[in-house]
Amino acid sequence: MAYKVMGITAGRKNGNSEILLKEALTVCEEQGAEVTMINLRDFNILDCTGCTACTKAMSQGKHIGCTLDSKDDKKKIMDVMLNQDAVIFSVPTYDLMPASAYLTFAHRSLSYGSELLLALLGLALGSMLAPMLAHSPAYVRRVFRQKVSWQR
Helix, strand, or coil (residue 65): coil
Helix (H) or strand (E) holding 22: helix 16-30
Instruction: Compare residues 9 and 111 and give the one whose CB is closer to ligand FMN.
Output: 9
Position of minimal CB gap to ligand FMN: 11
d(CA 132, CA 73): 30
Instruction: Compare residues 57 and 133 and give the one whose CB is closer to ligand FMN.
Output: 133
Instruction: Compare residues 18 and 23 and give the one whose CB is closer to ligand FMN.
Output: 18
Q: Restricting to residues 71-110, name those near ligand FMN by CB under 6 A.
A: 92-96
Q: Which of 5, 8, 11, 103 binds ligand FMN (CB under 6 A)?
A: 11
CB of 110 to ligand FMN, least distance (A): 25
CB of 112 to ligand FMN, least distance (A): 25
Instruction: Compare residues 37 and 57 and give the one whose CB is closer to ligand FMN.
Output: 37
All residues at 6 or more sequence positions from 57 whose CB lies less than 8 Å from its CB, including other chains: 63, 64
d(CA 29, CA 3): 9
d(CA 142, CA 139): 5
d(CA 5, CA 34): 6
CB of 133 to ligand FMN, least distance (A): 6
Q: Which of 141, 105, 104 is nearest to 21 (CA)?
A: 141
| Residue 134 lies near ligand FMN (rule: CB under 6 A) | no
Q: Footprint of ligand FMN on this chain (CB under 6 A)?
A: 11-12, 15-18, 92-96, 130, 133
